[in-house]
Structure 1
Amino acid sequence: MSTATAASKTWIRTSASIRAYLQLMRPANIVTAWADILAGYSATGLVMSEQTWPPLLWLLLATTGLYAGGVVFNDVFDAELDAVERPERPIPSGQSSLKGAIGLGIALLGLGIGAAAQVSELSLGLAIVIAIAALLYDRFSKHHSLIGPINMGLCRGCNLLLGVSAVAEQTQMLWFLALIPLAYIGAITAISQGEVAGGQQRTGVIALLLLSMVTGALFGLSFLPSVQGWNLLPFTLLLIGLVFPPFLQAADTPNADMIRAAVKAGILALIVLDASLAAGFAGWPYGLVVLSLLPGSKGISRLFAMT
C-alpha cells in the first residue's frame, strides 16, 4: 500500500469519526438552544446597551455545552437499546466509542457550567440544574410518559431563564416564562415517544392541547406592560402555521414517519417560539434576528439528524 493511499484511508476514518461525534451533539438542535438564550436575553433590557456582548457570548457558550453534553449522554445511556432499534447511530454502529462519548459528554457539560459561572451566580445555579435535569432525563425519566415530558420541559424552561439570568432581578420577576417552553417541549416529548415504532392518538391529542396552551400563553403575554403585543403577533401566527399541521397529522395517523416529521418540525419551530418572545420584549427587529437562526438550523439538520 502506498503512503498516499494509507494517508487517504486514515483521513477518511478520521473524518467519519469526527462526523460521528458531531452527530452525537445534534448540531442543528444546538442552534435552537441559542434561540432560547437570545429570547431570554431580550427580557433583560440589555439588548441595546453597551453591556450586551460579554454576558451574552458566555451564555451562548454555556447553552452550547449544556445542550450538546445532554444529548451526548442520551446516546450513551441508550447504547444498548439503540443497538436493537437504531443501529445506525454513532455508538452502536461503532463510528464512535462509548468511552469517547462519555468523555465528550463530561467535557461539554463542564464547559457549559464553567461558561455560565462567568456571568453570575444565578447563571451558574441554573446551569447546574440544567445539567442534572438533562442527566436525569437521559438515564431515567424519558421512558416515563408523564415525568419525561415534564423533565425535558424543565431543561428548556431553565435554558430560557439562563438567558434572563444576566440580570438576576429580571429572572426573579419573569420566572413564569419558563412555563412556556416547558409546555412546548412537553408536547414534543410526548409525541416523540412513538418515533421508533409508532405511537398512540392519545399522546397526539395531549401534545396538541399543550401546543394550544403555549399559543394561548404567547397571546396572553401581550397584557404585560413590558411586552409589545403587535410585534409578537406575526411570529406567533407563523409558529401556529409551522407546528399544528404536522402535529395534527401525527395525532390522526400516529405512525413512526409522521411522528418523526412532527418532532423535527416542533424542534425547528422552537426558534420561532423564541422569536415571538424576543419580538414581544425587544421589538420585531430583534425577533427577526432570532428568526434568522431558522434557515441555519434547517440546513444543518440536512447534514445531521435531529433525533
Structure 2
Amino acid sequence: MGSSRIFAYLQLTRPANVVTAIADIWAGFAVAGAWALIAADWGSGSNEFLINLAWLSLSTIGLYAGGVAFNDVFDAELDAVERPERPIPSGKVSISSAAWMSFLLLVVGVIAAAQVNFISAGIALAVAALAVLYDYWGKHQHLFGPINMGLCRTGNLLLGVSVVPEILASFWPLGFLPLIFVAAITMISRGEVHGKNRSALYGGLSMYVIVIVAIAAMPFLHNTAAWQVLPFLALLSYMIFPPLIKAIRSQNPKLIGKSVKAAVISLIIVNASIASSFAGWKIGIFVLMLLPISLWLAKKFAVT
C-alpha cells in the first residue's frame, strides 16, 4: 500500500479529532481519582491503572476513528457532490474497504475496553452503537442529531470514569457537559456548507456559555481552588468565541467551518478544565499537552 493510500485511510479517521477523544478518557480518569492511583501504583511497583489507561485510550481511538470513518461511508453519495476531494468520492479508498476498516476499528474499541472491566466494555459497545446510529440516521434528524452526537462524547467521558466503576453512580451527570458542548458544535456545523444558520449559531453560543459556567462552578462543589480551573476556561473562551462571533456576523460557510474546527480541537481544553477541577492544575496541564498534537494533526488532516 503506497503512502498516498495510507494517507487517504488516515484522512477517514480524522486523526486530530481522535486526539480529542483521548482527552475524554484522561479527564474521566481525573473524575475517578485514577491519576492519584497511578501515582500510588508507580511508587509500589504496580502498574494496573497505567495499563488500564492505555487500554481505554486505545479503546477510544478505535471507537472514534471507526465512527467518523463510517460517517464518510454513509455520506459517500453526498460527498461526491459537496466534497469530492474526500477519500471515497475521489476514488482513493473504496466504500467496501472503508466500511471494513470502520467496523474493525469499532471492534478493537470494544475489545480494548473489555480488558479493563465489563462495565467499560458495555459503555464502549454503547458508544459504537450510538456512533453508527448517528452516521446512518441521527445526523439527518434536526433535534435528535446533535443529542445523538453529544451522547457519543458523553459515553466517551464515562468510559474513562469507568476505570473505577463505583464512581459512575455519583458522577454520571458530568456526561451532560460534553453532550451540551458537542451538540452545540453539531448544530453550528450544519451551516458549514451553505451558511445562513444564525439561529443555530446563537444557540451554539448559548450552549458553550452553559458549559463554561458549569465547569467554573465545579471547584466550589469539589473543594478545589478556583484559580486552578479559571486559566483553562480563559483559554477555552479565547479558542471558541472569537471565531464563532465572526461566523455569526458574516454567515460565511468558511468562517463557520473555522468556528467548528476551533470548537472540536477545544474539546481538549474542556477536558483539561474538568480534569483540573477534580485532580488539580498539574493533571489539567497534562491533558492540555494533547492540544499541540491535535493542532499539528489538524494542519495535516481535515477536522470536519
Determine the structure 2 residue equivalent to 1:8: none
Shift of 1:199: 3.3
- Within 5 Å, which residues of 2 pair with 1:26-175? 26-49=14-37, 50=41, 51-175=48-172
Displacement after TM superposition at 1:14 (Å): 1.4
1:155-206: CA deviation from partner (whole Å, max 9, x where unpaired) = 0011001000000111111001100010000111000011112131100011
d(CA) in 2 for partners of 1:253 and 1:147? 27
Deviation at 1:96, TM superposition (A): 0.5
Q: Secondary structure at the match of 1:89?
A: coil
- Give the structure 1 partner of residue 226 of structure 2: 229
1:226 Cα offset (Å):
5.3
2:197 alignment partner in structure 1: 200
Q: How many Å apart are 1:124 and its aligned residue?
A: 0.8
- Offset at residue 219 of structure 1 (A): 1.2
Q: Is the 8 A contact 1:33 1:67 kept in 2?
A: yes
Partners in 1 of 2:138 and 2:34 — Cα distance? 36
Higher CA-based Rg? 1
State the identity %. 49
The residue type paired with residue 7 of structure 2 is: R
Please report how far the alpha carbon of residue 48 of structure 1 lies from its aligned counterpart in structure 2 after TM superposition. Answer: 2.6
Contact map agreement 2:222 2:278 (CA 8 A) in 1: no
- For residues 143 and 262 of structure 1, the distance between their equivalents in structure 2, rounded to whole angstroms, comes to 21
Q: Are residue 177 (structure 1) and residue 165 (structure 2) matched? A: no
Counterpart-to-counterpart distance in 1, 2:142 and 2:247? 17
Query: Unpaired runs of 5+ in structure 1?
Result: 1-12
Q: Aligned Cα RMSD in Å?
A: 1.1
CA distance in 2, matches of 1:277, 1:228: 13
1:90 match: secondary structure: coil
Q: Which region of structure 1 is more displaced relative to structure 2, 288-297 or 251-260?
A: 251-260
Please tell me the residue identity of whatever aligns with 1:229: A
Aligned length: 295
Q: Distance in 2 between matches of 1:173 and 1:239?
A: 26
Aligned to 1:9: none
Q: Distance in 2 between matches of 1:135 and 1:63?
A: 15
* Paired position in structure 1 for 2:44: none
Aligned counterpart, 1:264: 261
**Letter paired with 2:273:** S
Offset, 1:221: 1.2
Q: Kindly state the Cα deviation for residue 146 of structure 1 after the two structures are TM-superposed.
A: 1.5
Question: Does the Cα contact within 8 Å between 1:194 and 1:256 map onto a contact in 2?
Answer: yes
TM-score, normalised to structure 1, is: 0.94
- Deviation digits for residues 89-113 of structure 1, max 9, x if unmatched? 0000000011100010010000000
TM-score for the superposition, normalised by structure 2: 0.95
Matches within 5 A, 1:4-23: 14-23=2-11
> Which of 189, 207, 212 pairs up with 1:210?
207
Stretches of 4+ moved more than 4 A in 1?
Answer: none
1:128 and 1:293 mapped to 2: Cα distance? 25
What SS does the aligned partner of 1:166 have? coil
Letter of the aligned partner of 1:215 in structure 2?
I
